[in-house]
Every structure is written in structure tokens, then in C-alpha cells.
Structure 1
Amino acid sequence: MKSDVKKREQWRKKREYILAAAGTVVGYGNVWRFPYLCYKNGGGVFLLPYCFFAITCGLPLFLMETVIGQYTQEGPINCWTKLCPLAQGAGYSILIIQLYSRLYAIILAWAILYLIYSFRDPLPWATCDNPWNTDRCMDLSAVNLAAVGNLTSGNLTKSSVSEFWERGVLSMSAGIEEVGSVKWELLLCLLATWVACYFCIWKGVRSTGKVVYFTAIFPYVMLAILLVRGLILPGAWQGVVYYLYPDFSRLADSQVWMEACAQVLFSYGVGCGTFITFGSYNKVRNNCCRDSLWLCVLNSCTSFVAGFAVFSSLGFMSYKQGIPMDMVAESGPGLAFIAFPQAVAMMPFPQLWAVCFFLMIILLGLDSVFAGLETITSCVTDLFPEQMRKPWRREIFLIFFCSFVFIIQITLVSEGGVYQFQLLDYYSCSGTCIMFVCIIQCVAVGWAFGADRMCNAVEDKTGQRPWPLFRLCWRYFTPLICIVCFICSFLNNQTLTSSGGYVYPDWAYRLGWTVALSSVVPVPIYAVIRLFLTEGTFRQRLLVLWYPAPDLVNQTFNPLGEQPELETFVNAN
């Protein structure tokens, strides 16, 4: 009787993989994080530590994860059984990180609501004639240097843009303890987000490969439009100078190097299992070295160019209102939902530029959210292949999973939801957890499986051997850098405070640390359990779990039934 269990999926065309990977690496970190960090940490000087970490950490880790997926043909959990069984706990850490990262769906909901409001004339955040406005509100035509001075000195005046964000969109309560009522407009936008994510991946790479033609390319069109528009605005070059003006003294600040490393890991999307998943859908002879190089170059170039689009618009706003640049430059949601909308509202035809900007934000986030959802689905499918690869099982699982996460996230669209978002974003999706996963991956590939063996495997299948630098990075440079940054992140840890100086209660900080540790502890817990369940002396157990079994290695690097020369890269161990 013929089995109805399907084999592992593969990309139909090479360009579908390229577009899916490009859509994943280019996201919010490129638009609202990199430009601000560049401005904050010495302007053009920040590019030096950024490029250093991109070469020694970002690119090697990106290639390593792609190779892992492509040559094991497994997802982020099962791949370690063929590389280093003792490190399989890293796969479960990745799964937990991805579960927490579904948090970013709420950003899409905010952006959708802003997009809907962008069709109004006048833009609702440009005036104080709205139901949510208070007597403290000051519309954009009245905002000037003196008004902003009153804001920063504690006066009660507040810009219409800030009131729209805090009262019109979020209806912020006094703190995380006050959950308040649900914002029904945001709830519907959140529902639309999850429906869109479901249909983007419900058929696996068949549907994902079609969707990325739009979601990966269209943001570049929007970015190009905003870039050209921004550069021709009065005051634009003042913003560009603030963005890139070099301050070489900042290179002596260790925090600059820390933030550069964290930005590279965050922006390149490593340590999250997505590229292991995408690589596992590739053909085994795909030239992953070339793909990884160009995707990483694309990512870094997009970050650099996005800075011109952002800071030219902020320079225009500074010029228009007579406000210093350091009072308009923000990072994170503050840039996307306060600073940039304020700049857009001052331009001619503001509705057009608002629509372009928020469409770009939605599509940038959508790629990342459904890529992470695909990673989670791949993990579950690999763990239960007999059940999940049968017809319609994947679709049913996705319906239940998306519905479950949507229900949990209802609290995020309440009046206290933004405090929950900031707490979970700070602790659950931090660079520290990603650094830990990267360390484990480097040790497993560089030392347990062997960097030389991995390089030989790549050369055997693609005919192109990775540069010697990659072998050195996998074994020495990348894990060492991540270990140093991992330790420094704890030593330099700062207490989370919300906008307006709100301090979270003690129980919230304890909850945050519990969430952070939950994505780290699977590695040691799984290792201890496997050592305990494996037979033999401790040394025998360690050897069995440290090295891949020869038959698994042969199966891993010979998925097409060929006869490769395994002796060139496999030892009996």
C-alpha cells in the first residue's frame, strides 16, 4: 500500500529561496534600528565595528546555518542529530525564541491601523481636532523649539503625533498592572495580520515561494520612493550629516562595539533557525556560499541606504520646526510611529507618503513574521513527520497554532498592552539569547562535527570550497566574539524603563528574566538528559553524543543515493 506521507518540500525555483531569504534578513532592524545606532555611535565611524562584526560573525553564521539546513535536509531541531547530538537542545532554544518572536505581529497591527488612518484628510495625527486629544495637545503647525523645550522640561504640552500614538492608537494605561479594555480596532488589525500570515505559508514553500515575489520586492520600491522624496526636501542634507558625521572618539567606547555586534546578529537573522529551515528546502548542490555572500551584502547595503531615507526626512522635520536633530532622532517604534509620521505630515501630499511608508513597514514585518512561523512549523513537522506530512495535517496545525497565538496576544491590544510588549521584547528577543545559541552552534559545527569536514562537504557538493576565513571563524573568531559579548551584556545590563520614565514593578522584572532564561536552559537540560539516558561510561556517552554516527553522516551527505568520497571529510571517530 502506497504511503500518503509526503517527502520534504523543496523550493520550486532558486529565486524563490533568494527572495524569501532577502525578505527575512531585510526588516525593521534595517529601517529603524541601524540608522539610529549609526547616528548615536559616532556616525560613519560606526561602520567600522559594524563591518568587522559582519565579516567575523554575521556572514560566517549566515553561511553556517544555510549549510546546516541544506546538507542535513532537516530543520533547526533534527539537524543536530546528524551533526552533534549533544547540541540538539539548541534546536529547542531556537523554537522557544521563535515562539516569543511571534510578539512582533502586534507591530504589524499598529502599522495596519496607521495605514487605514493614512487615507484621511487631514492626517489625524497632524491636528488636535480628534476625540482622543486633550487640552495639552499641540498640533504640528504650532510645534517649535520653545514648545519642545516645554515638553522636555516637564510642561504639560504634547504634540498631536504623540497623543495620536499614546491615546488614539494605544490608549495607554498608567502601567502594566492596569490591563484595561481591549482596543477593538487594533484587535481586528491583529486578526488580519494572523490571517495574512496563515495564507502566506499554509501550503509550505509552494505558497511562500509565490508570496515573496511581492512581499520581498515591493518594500524596496517603497524605500526607493521615500529615499528620493526625502533627499530633495529642504534640510535633508542636515539630517544626512547628522547620520554620517564621524566621531572617531566613539571607537574607544566598548558599548559602541557591543551594539554593533548585537545589530549584526539581529539584522542578519542568525541564531533563530530561519536559514536552517530555508536552507533545508534547497537542493543539496545549490551554491550556498555565493547565495549567502550576496544576501549578506544586500542586507548591509539596505541598512546603509535606509539611513539616508530616514534621516533626510528627519532633517526636513528639524529644519521645518527649528528643532535640533538630537531631539527628533529616535529608534524602534518611536521612529516608525511618532518621528516619521510627524515628518510625513509636514510634506506636500502627506497621505501619499504615509501610505508608502506604512505599506513598507507592513511588508517588511510580514516577511519576518511568516518566516518565523515557517520555522516553527518545520520544527514540529520534523519531530512528527508521520503525522504532520500527511495531507492537510500541516494546514490544520497552522489554523490551531495561529488561532492560539492570536488569542494569547489579545492582551497586547489592551490599554496596558504596550507595556507587555516592551517587557517581552526586551527580555525574550534580546541579543543575549541569540548570542548564546550562536555560541552553541559554532562549537557544535566548528569542533564537534569539524569545520574542515563541513568545508569539505560544501566543496564536495557545490565544487566551491568556503574561504579559509570561514573555517577560522567557525572554530575560533565567531564563538570567541560571541562569548565576550554574551558576558559583557550581563555586566552592562540596564534596567528596562518605559517611555515617560515608567519603572516596572519588581514582579515584571522577575518575569522578564524567567522568559529570557527559558530560551537558554533547554541546551544544558537536553544535554544532561541525553547523557543520562545513553548507555556506557561517561566518556563513551560523551563521545557518542559529541560526534555524529558514521552512517548518519553518510546519509546526510548522500541524500541522492550517490557515492561521494566520504573518506575525504569523514573520520570514524
Structure 2
Amino acid sequence: MTRERRNTENQRRDGDRGQWANKTEYIMVVAGSVVGLGNVWRFPYLCYKNGGGAFLIPYIMFAVVCGFPLFLLETSSGQYTQEGFITSWKKLCPLAQGIGYGYFMMKLYDFCYIVVQAWALFYLVFSFRSELPWVSCSNTWNTAHCLGLQPNSSSNLITNRTTSAATEFWERRVLSMSGGIEEIGSVRWDLALCLLVCWVICYFSIWKGVRSSGKVAYLTATFPYVMLLILLIRGLTLPGAWEGIYFYLHPELIQLKNLEVWIDAGSQIIFSYSLAAGNLDVLGSYNNYNNNCYRDCVWLCLLNSVTSLVAGLVVFSVLGFMAQKQGVTVDSVAESGPGLAFIAYPQATAMMPLPQFWTVCFFLMLILLSVDTHFVTVECFITSVSDLFPKLLHTSVRHEIFVLITCFCVFLTQLTLVTEGGIYIFQLIDYYGCTRACQDFMIVCECVAIGWVFGADSFLNIINDMTGQRPCILFKLCWKYIIPLLSLSSLILHLVEYQNLRFNGWYVYPNWAYLLGWTMTLSSILMVPLWATGQIYLTPGTFKQRLAILCHPSETSSWQTEKSREEVPVELIIPAEIA
């Protein structure tokens, strides 16, 4: 059977499930998913912090031996199985289906990142004011310790006794922070309205599945690059920009002796490539069977890494300008995460001519970067649940209703994130629910299931059958040895060096919050052994027979059956007694 005939068969089988309208839509959606906030507010700071240009050495190494092989593994497994991240394991290794349920739990925690989009929307609305509210201290939320920003002054130095206007706007106006997670307080209805708008955008981006999300990605995946280019040109023309870039890329090779640098490089690859999250599996599952996913993965990984580097130039050129204006060094204004996006960068754009324009450009970019990342997260969750109940949810009307119910229910639960104690809840979920430990553990399980149980050679044969291009032996070595060992080492180091979360370096969470945090972490990790144990117990036969059944695919596709008649390698044939 030719690959074209197999593709036609898959289309007929999955007609109700849908497929990408064309290759461009797939590339746009995946690019929008993997290129997100981490490229803008995480990579530049990690690069500066871990030796500048020297950080690129471990970063590139991990991209080659971990990032690209895992990207190909997850994308091709989805394309091969044509299923979501839960049911796909039935066609690979039923015993490992707990990995899919682990992804399911991680997705529930990933939903919380839409609040970043709501914050950015809140800032965008205020960016149209004649005077930016984070510039002066004449607002009702400001304290006596507030230090206003004078754009043309070099005396804006923050001391221990003062707080910048930008910080007070963020903490007292946007978040209206309480004293801790124990003081949830009331819902901030202006922020809740922004959150509602974000969920409405999400709903209409995915309500018809890939038929709608593919169209939305034409805007959400391309427009951030336009904004990034505009901000880059502006940043490079600012005074002090090159000092900032020097801090960003100046190589300090001595830093490579620090194990933390290598760990940060590996975690950044996993985070920015959206690995061990189930997204790539689901997005790949909507491809034609004979799509050249190998070539797609090369270009998408390259795009992601180049975007990270360019985003660093944008961020540090502006931070260099800000440092020169304040008469301080760049390292004193360099931040990561929300501190960069909602304090440092808005403060820097306020010092430029036409500050409203540059602020609008920046927050539009943040919103669109987070829009496609979030709607892909929700779409992958919806797809995987729908594939569990295809007869119930694969019809068009029921699918739209299910998407609506999911979006509305998650929105209601996320109202806790826009309360006065919402930032403490967000940080708790970010630190424990979506932790590096979960990703490392899932990667180890994934590589063992594919590389050892299903068989790395069998998987290489599948990729060759789909694409007409067989990956080199390096991929086999990575899947079976290199990636599991690196991920297991990273997991052990993470547990050994674990420290309780502290918000802003001073707030200590109560013990019950740490217990809740570890419950979130274990809720995804324990899915793997619990599912395996449950299936072994429920499957009839001796222990050896049970393992034999659960370690082999539960279905034999027609193309495998036909290829077996053509004397394909033994490892691709499913024994008749097991099938």
C-alpha cells in the first residue's frame, strides 16, 4: 500500500476528527505554540545570568541532543497514531498510557498562564492614556515612598526606602496584592473582565477545532514577529543599547564550570520547545500520514532558538538604555519573568519619545505570543479528551458545546487568580504544578516507552515510512541513552537542591500551601505508575503474559498488516496472538 493510499485511509477514518487544511496552518500553529513568553522573558535573562555568549554552548548542545530528537519523537508519534496524547499510547505502548494522563493533569495547571495575557491586556488599555500611570506618583494607589519617573532625568535611582512608580502600579493597582495566600481578598473585577475577554478569544480560536485555530494562527503567529522587528530596530537605535547587548552576550567561559548553567540550558530547551507537554503529539496528529515531519521539526526548532536570541537583543538593548538613563549598570535593572514584562520594560519605554506607541507595541506582542500558546494548550486538552470519547464528542455541535463548557468552567475557577491574593496562587501553581520535575520524569518515561519497549528501530522505521527519510543512528542513541540519563540526572539534582518557594524572596508560604504544591506535582507524576499498576492488575493471564500484552500496541493498522506480508523487519510486526 502506498503512503498516499494510507493517507486517504487515515482521512476517511478520522473524517469527523478533522485535519489541517494545509501545511502552512500546521506550521503557523506549532510556531505560535512553541514561540511564547519564555522566549521573551526567560531566555534573555538566563543567557545574561549564565555567562552570556558562553551560555549558547550548552544551549546549542542540548538543542541538538535533547530538543530536536524529542521534538521529532513527539511530533511523529502523534502523526503516526492520529490520536491525542492519551489514546495515542494504545498504539505505541498501552502500559505507558499513564504518561498521557500525566499530561492531562499538567494541562489543568498550564491553564493558569492565561492570567499573564489578562495582565498584558490590562496594561494595554492603560497604554492609551496621555500620561502612562506607571510614570508618576500622583495616583490614588501610590504611597509616600513612591519615586516617579522623569524620562529626561538621570536621577531615578531606587533605594531601599523608595519604590518605583512602575512597581507600585504593578503591585498596588494591577494586582492589589494582599499580605499572603492566606488573604485571598475579593475579586478584582476589572482584571476579571480582562480574563473573560481572553477566554472569549480562546473559545473562538478553537471552537471548530483545527479548522478555526489554523486560521487564527495566521495573525497570532506572524504579528508578534512584526512587533519584535519594530522593537528591535527601535532598541538598537537607543543610547546605551550596545552596553545592554554587551551584558547580554559577553562570553564568560568560566561559568561553564557551574553545573547550574547546564541545568538551566536543558530546562530552557524543554520549556521553550514545549516538550513533555503533549502539545506536539496532538498538533502532529492532525497531519497527513505522509507529511515530512522530519523537515518540519528542523525548521521549527531553528525558528524557536533564533527567536529567543533576537528577543534577547530586543530586551537588553532597551535595558541598556534604561540603565544609562538611570546612571546604573545593566545588571541592576535586568529581570526575568513578570518583573521584566510588567515593571522593567514598561518603565524603559516610558523614557522614550512617544512612549505610548512603544508600550502598545510591546503589550500587543505579549498578548499575541500568549494567545496562540494558550489556545493550543486548551485545544490539545480538548482533542485528547474527545479522542477518549469519539462517538460522543467528535460531532461538530457536541464538540463546540464541550469547548464552551470547558472554557467557561475553567474561567470560573480562575477567578481566584484575579483576587488580591491571586499572584500568590499563580506563583504556587507555576512553581509546583508545572515544575521541572514533572517534565523530567515524563521525558524519562516517554523515552523508555518508545526507545526500549516499543523499540527505537521500529520507531525509526515508522518515520522512514511516513517521510521517506530515515533519521540517523544519533536519534536512536538519544532516545535510548542520552536523553533518559540527562533527564534523570536533572530530576535528581532538582530534588536534592529543592528549596521551598518564596515569593519576592521574602514571603514564606504556610505549610499547607507547600503540601498543596507537592500534591500538584505528584498528581501528574503518579499517574504513570498508578495506571501501569492498575492495568497489570486488570489484565488477565500470568504476570509475564500481562506485560507482553500491555507492552505491545493494542491495534494493528492495515498498513502494518500489508507490510508484514511484504516481509518488513520483525520488530514492526505485531504478533497475532497479542493483536
Q: Which amino acid aligns with 1:318?
A: A
**Residues 143 and 159 of structure 1 are in contact (CA less than 8 Å); yes or no, is this contact kept in structure 2?**
no
For the pair 1:536 / 2:550, whether they are aligned, the reply is no
Match of 1:52 in 2: 61
Pick aligned residue for 1:332 from 330, 334, 337: 337
Q: What are the equivalent positions in structure 2 for 1:458-469 lying under 5 Å apart?
A: 458-469=463-474
Partner Cα separation in structure 2 for residue 4 and residue 272 of structure 1: 26
Same amino acid, percent of matched pairs: 54
**Residues 176 and 420 of structure 1 are in contact (CA less than 8 Å); yes or no, is this contact kept in structure 2?**
yes
User: SS where residue 557 of structure 2 aligns?
Assistant: helix
Pick aligned residue for 1:61 from 65, 70, 83: 70
For the pair 1:554 / 2:557, whether they are aligned, the reply is yes
Q: Which moved more, 1:482-491 or 1:561-570?
A: 561-570
**Residues 5 and 390 of structure 1 are in contact (CA less than 8 Å); yes or no, is this contact kept in structure 2?**
no
Pick aligned residue for 2:47 from 38, 44, 54: 38
Q: Which amino acid aligns with 1:108?
A: Q
Match of 1:136 in 2: 145
Match of 1:168 in 2: 173
Match of 1:408 in 2: 413
Match of 1:187 in 2: 192
CA shift at 1:143, angstroms?
Answer: 11
Match of 1:370 in 2: 375
**Residues 4 and 391 of structure 1 are in contact (CA less than 8 Å); yes or no, is this contact kept in structure 2?**
no
Partner Cα separation in structure 1 for residue 82 and residue 91 of structure 2: 10
Match of 1:383 in 2: 388
CA shift at 1:556, angstroms?
Answer: 7.2
For the pair 1:417 / 2:422, whether they are aligned, the reply is yes
TM-score scaled by length of structure 1: 0.95
Pick aligned residue for 1:476 from 473, 481, 492: 481
For the pair 1:218 / 2:223, whether they are aligned, the reply is yes
Q: Which amino acid aligns with 1:554?
A: S
Match of 2:6 in 1: none
**Residues 208 and 396 of structure 2 are in contact (CA less than 8 Å); yes or no, is this contact kept in structure 1?**
no
User: SS where residue 458 of structure 2 aligns?
Assistant: helix
Identify if the C-alpha distance between structure 1 residues 212 and 333 changes in structure 2 by more than 3 Å, giving closer, same or farther.
Answer: same
Pick aligned residue for 2:311 from 301, 306, 310: 306
Pick aligned residue for 2:281 from 273, 276, 285: 276
For the pair 1:570 / 2:579, whether they are aligned, the reply is no
User: SS where residue 150 of structure 1 aligns?
Assistant: coil
User: SS where residue 124 of structure 1 aligns?
Assistant: coil
Match of 1:342 in 2: 347
User: SS where residue 519 of structure 1 aligns?
Assistant: helix
The superposition leaves residues 18-53 of structure 1 with CA deviations (integer Å, 9 ceiling, x where unpaired) of: 000000110011000000000001111111111111
Identify if the C-alpha distance between structure 1 residues 29 and 76 changes in structure 2 by more than 3 Å, giving closer, same or farther.
Answer: same
For the pair 1:203 / 2:203, whether they are aligned, the reply is no
Partner Cα separation in structure 1 for residue 351 and residue 158 of structure 2: 20
Match of 1:114 in 2: 123
CA shift at 1:557, angstroms?
Answer: 5.2
Partner Cα separation in structure 2 for residue 105 and residue 221 of structure 1: 22
CA shift at 1:461, angstroms?
Answer: 2.4
Q: What are the equivalent positions in structure 2 for 1:250-269 lying under 5 Å apart?
A: 250-269=255-274
User: SS where residue 125 of structure 1 aligns?
Assistant: coil
The superposition leaves residues 214-247 of structure 1 with CA deviations (integer Å, 9 ceiling, x where unpaired) of: 0000000000000110011000000000001111
Match of 1:295 in 2: 300
Structure 1 runs not aligned, ≥5 long: none
Partner Cα separation in structure 1 for residue 247 and residue 417 of structure 2: 35
TM-score scaled by length of structure 2: 0.94
**Which ranges of 4 or more aligned residues in structure 1 deviate by more than 4 Å?**
3-6, 142-147, 555-558, 561-566
For the pair 1:352 / 2:352, whether they are aligned, the reply is no
Note the aligned Cα RMSD (angstroms): 1.8
User: SS where residue 284 of structure 1 aligns?
Assistant: coil
Q: Which moved more, 1:291-300 or 1:389-398?
A: 389-398
Partner Cα separation in structure 2 for residue 229 and residue 319 of structure 1: 16
Match of 2:3 in 1: none
**Residues 152 and 351 of structure 2 are in contact (CA less than 8 Å); yes or no, is this contact kept in structure 1?**
no
Q: What are the equivalent positions in structure 2 for 1:54-133 lying under 5 Å apart?
A: 54-133=63-142
Structure 2 runs not aligned, ≥5 long: 1-11
Number of residue pairs matched by the alignment = 563
The superposition leaves residues 256-281 of structure 1 with CA deviations (integer Å, 9 ceiling, x where unpaired) of: 11111111100000111111001000
CA shift at 1:142, angstroms?
Answer: 8.6
Partner Cα separation in structure 2 for residue 572 and residue 330 of structure 1: 53
Q: What are the equivalent positions in structure 2 for 1:482-493 lying under 5 Å apart?
A: 482-493=487-498
Partner Cα separation in structure 1 for residue 64 and residue 204 of structure 2: 36
The superposition leaves residues 326-357 of structure 1 with CA deviations (integer Å, 9 ceiling, x where unpaired) of: 11000001000001001000011000000000
Pick aligned residue for 1:232 from 224, 234, 237: 237
The superposition leaves residues 395-450 of structure 1 with CA deviations (integer Å, 9 ceiling, x where unpaired) of: 11111111111110111111110011011111001121011111111111111111
Identify if the C-alpha distance between structure 1 residues 557 and 402 changes in structure 2 by more than 3 Å, giving closer, same or farther.
Answer: farther
Partner Cα separation in structure 1 for residue 452 and residue 241 of structure 2: 50
Q: Which amino acid aligns with 1:492?
A: E
Partner Cα separation in structure 2 for residue 360 and residue 83 of structure 1: 39
**Residues 6 and 390 of structure 1 are in contact (CA less than 8 Å); yes or no, is this contact kept in structure 2?**
no
User: SS where residue 137 of structure 2 aligns?
Assistant: coil
Partner Cα separation in structure 2 for residue 299 and residue 35 of structure 1: 13
The superposition leaves residues 307-331 of structure 1 with CA deviations (integer Å, 9 ceiling, x where unpaired) of: 0000000000000110221110000
Q: Which amino acid aligns with 1:570?
A: L
Q: Which moved more, 1:497-506 or 1:170-179?
A: 497-506
Identify if the C-alpha distance between structure 1 residues 234 and 480 changes in structure 2 by more than 3 Å, giving closer, same or farther.
Answer: same
User: SS where residue 126 of structure 1 aligns?
Assistant: coil
**Residues 126 and 140 of structure 1 are in contact (CA less than 8 Å); yes or no, is this contact kept in structure 2?**
yes
User: SS where residue 141 of structure 1 aligns?
Assistant: coil
User: SS where residue 287 of structure 2 aligns?
Assistant: coil
CA shift at 1:567, angstroms?
Answer: 2.0
User: SS where residue 441 of structure 1 aligns?
Assistant: helix
**Residues 5 and 389 of structure 1 are in contact (CA less than 8 Å); yes or no, is this contact kept in structure 2?**
no
Partner Cα separation in structure 1 for residue 121 and residue 556 of structure 2: 47
Q: Which moved more, 1:446-455 or 1:138-147?
A: 138-147
Match of 1:318 in 2: 323
**Residues 151 and 350 of structure 2 are in contact (CA less than 8 Å); yes or no, is this contact kept in structure 1?**
no
CA shift at 1:5, angstroms?
Answer: 9.6
Q: What are the equivalent positions in structure 2 for 1:492-511 lying under 5 Å apart?
A: 492-499=497-504, 501-511=506-516
Partner Cα separation in structure 2 for residue 295 and residue 235 of structure 1: 33
The superposition leaves residues 159-180 of structure 1 with CA deviations (integer Å, 9 ceiling, x where unpaired) of: 1000000011000011111111
Partner Cα separation in structure 2 for residue 338 and residue 352 of structure 1: 17
Q: Which amino acid aligns with 1:520?
A: I
**Residues 70 and 281 of structure 1 are in contact (CA less than 8 Å); yes or no, is this contact kept in structure 2?**
yes
CA shift at 1:150, angstroms?
Answer: 2.0
Partner Cα separation in structure 1 for residue 311 and residue 266 of structure 2: 19
Partner Cα separation in structure 2 for residue 327 and residue 394 of structure 1: 50
User: SS where residue 140 of structure 1 aligns?
Assistant: coil
Identify if the C-alpha distance between structure 1 residues 327 and 562 changes in structure 2 by more than 3 Å, giving closer, same or farther.
Answer: same
Identify if the C-alpha distance between structure 1 residues 389 and 6 changes in structure 2 by more than 3 Å, giving closer, same or farther.
Answer: farther
